[in-house]
Chains A and B, each alone.
Chain A
């Protein structure tokens, strides 16, 4: 288990990437003029490429002129491996002859043929120059010869004005984005504004609230928070009870997430439930999960994200805790255990009286943690 700082860093990095996608969703879906040139912005593209393998870029934009923009958010590590992976990905994207063209009612998207494909790479501003140099070098050296050369934009977040800043540079022959004659276009916006665009939190925050996720698998902690506060409470049958046990299936939750927010991946849901297990709030069973729903964070300094982290980190393998923290954790464990026992006993009584399948009964008797 990664330490708490690492988990929080992952959580925040994911949130940041969600913010980048949301900003472009604002540009293409909500901006006067530019949004009129767009047929469909897809936040969760997932489809089969020409080579028969699945592609999942970070977002796509199908324009009214039939051309497709494919975007990837990428960090560049110092190793060649990370560049090779990115170049491989971009080479596959460049060959795509179809793109997402409309949303389907319960998640997913339709596809239609595209007239041209353009590539956009979004990278943190501090690695933008290196990204330009290294991609150029790879092309000049003949290491790759993509059908379309990607355009690189740098992003950063300005704390003082609470907005994302996007920058273009022509360094190392980084090409401008093709507009295919569209006006306005992202490129005409950039060209007229010293190659700098902004998106304030007032705009991207609302998009974020509606979608919660981006197309990459979220970190476990992020998924656990989303499950605990967004998905699982709605499955309770007796909300007035102070605690309740839910039996849930991974596939059902993934479907519910897809239905609600457009993103729902069984593996990611499994990871989120696994995190809840480590926090002593869920237990896997043969075919489903038992989740122990209750209020876990109460009082002045408690919030769910930190409480979930604390619960996972307080395990013996976690960092040394102060005597107070250990005592508090012990107390909480005991309290949780009591609640669980009470619930299980109540459940057993119900199960016994209903004469349910004995295997369920045995599962129920096994008890916690």
Chain B
């Protein structure tokens, strides 16, 4: 291995003594760095759930660019050559099979894209991000507002009707207040908000992403960790519980379904059907066949990466049902719910118990 050429923060992190590494914790990362005379630059984070193995092992065995690995009980460090430069990618366990993957390249940097796309694809389906539902996404802003006046600097969204993109920035002008996150989100009816960049007065500047990620730009990393990352971890843990152990029993009736509520889905529109289909078919390893496609849609989906399968059923314009198969996996279900949620503008994802008897009214009259 060639000597690593790291930025000051990564250099400090990588060269911590064994004892210092053992003592290192995520919430106090900034304090530890500052005590060593190093600034914490911006940090990009992706929160993921793991089906089985530690992401560190998955990345080491499958991802490209990995140079060396160090680990303590509380963090795993990967020195990697990404997009022409050396970086340290940290894997912070957050409990219950949830991990924060963090590194210093900005979200748009090719190095981070290698991690978020290339590495995550390589680790699929054992590792998967989890898209936040609308309430979880908005709640992060609500909690941040309790810590200081909150202003939106920038917001990106996608318009569900025609899939056009929406970006709006609010420059900081002295004496002129920018909208709060609630004000900004009010303007996004029938859009799926993907990122929101916030200034929490006197505390920090950060970005939260619907796709289970966040960026720390400046201010108190402790607050970022305890508010934002904690929320992302909790959402991921809840999602994992929802998606784990969902195997159906053979020849038994379906007892539970994953129901994704969405704003509206017009299945009479061929482009919408196409979108739905493409969304699933584009996820790495997934193979799809149409069992029925007029007018309701029933897809049989198999994850070739682990042999699991499930059915996707669209029965009305406000919900998509995912019925786990006889063998199911957290990673496969997470990847498909993520893809569908992102494309269709997931409002909520619920595990519905469908064991109860059906009222006869369902079979009578209009």
Q: A residues engaging B (CB < 8 A)?
A: 12, 15, 19, 26-27, 29-35, 103, 107, 159, 162, 184, 189, 192-193, 197-203, 205-211, 225-226, 228-230, 233-236, 239-240, 259-262, 293, 295-306
The answer to whether B358 and A32 have CB atoms under 8 Å apart is yes
The answer to whether A233 and B302 have CB atoms under 8 Å apart is yes
The answer to whether B365 and A193 have CB atoms under 8 Å apart is yes
In the complex, residue of chain A having the shortest beta-carbon distance to the beta carbon of B312? A209
Shortest CB distance B289–A (Å): 4
Distance in angstroms between the alpha carbons of A240 and B282 in the assembled complex: 17
> For A27, A35, A205, A304, which residue has the most chain B Cβ atoms within 10 angstroms?
A205
**30 sampled A-B residue pairs with Cβ under 8 A:** A15-B292, A27-B363, A30-B253, A32-B358, A32-B360, A103-B251, A162-B316, A193-B365, A197-B364, A198-B362, A198-B363, A198-B365, A200-B315, A203-B362, A205-B296, A205-B313, A206-B257, A208-B298, A209-B254, A210-B323, A228-B287, A228-B289, A229-B301, A230-B302, A234-B327, A239-B307, A297-B287, A300-B281, A301-B278, A304-B289
The answer to whether A210 and B360 have CB atoms under 8 Å apart is no
Total number of B residues with any Cβ neighbor in A under 8 Å = 51
> Out of B285, B287, B362, which one reaches A200, CB within 8 Å?
B362
- A-B CB proximity, top 10 nearest: A304-B289, A209-B311, A229-B302, A233-B307, A206-B254, A305-B289, A32-B357, A202-B315, A209-B323, A234-B307
The answer to whether B251 and A300 have CB atoms under 8 Å apart is no
Known A189-B364, A229-B309: A15·B291 in contact at CB below 8 Å: yes
The answer to whether A303 and B326 have CB atoms under 8 Å apart is no
B52 is an interface residue with CB less than 8 A from chain A: no
The answer to whether A295 and B285 have CB atoms under 8 Å apart is yes
Contacts of B287 in A (CB 8 A): 228-229, 295-297, 304
Known A240-B305, A261-B251: A229·B300 in contact at CB below 8 Å: yes
The answer to whether B313 and A297 have CB atoms under 8 Å apart is no
B290 is an interface residue with CB less than 8 A from chain A: yes
In the complex, residue of chain B having the shortest beta-carbon distance to the beta carbon of A27? B363
Distance in angstroms between the alpha carbons of A30 and B254 in the assembled complex: 11
Shortest CB distance A358–B (Å): 32
> Out of B253, B292, B294, B327, which one reaches A29, CB within 8 Å?
B253
The answer to whether B281 and A298 have CB atoms under 8 Å apart is yes
Known A33-B360, A205-B315, A234-B307: A304·B288 in contact at CB below 8 Å: yes
Distance in angstroms between the alpha carbons of A221 and B273 in the assembled complex: 22
| Residues B269-299 near A (CB distance < 8 A) | 274, 277-278, 281-282, 285, 287-292, 294-296, 298
The answer to whether A260 and B296 have CB atoms under 8 Å apart is no
Distance in angstroms between the alpha carbons of A261 and B309 in the assembled complex: 14
The answer to whether B363 and A225 have CB atoms under 8 Å apart is no
Distance in angstroms between the alpha carbons of A210 and B254 in the assembled complex: 6
Distance in angstroms between the alpha carbons of A27 and B363 in the assembled complex: 8
B175 is an interface residue with CB less than 8 A from chain A: no
In the complex, residue of chain A having the shortest beta-carbon distance to the beta carbon of B286? A295
The answer to whether A203 and B358 have CB atoms under 8 Å apart is yes
Contacts of B296 in A (CB 8 A): 162, 201, 205
> Out of B291, B307, B364, B365, which one reaches A236, CB within 8 Å?
B307
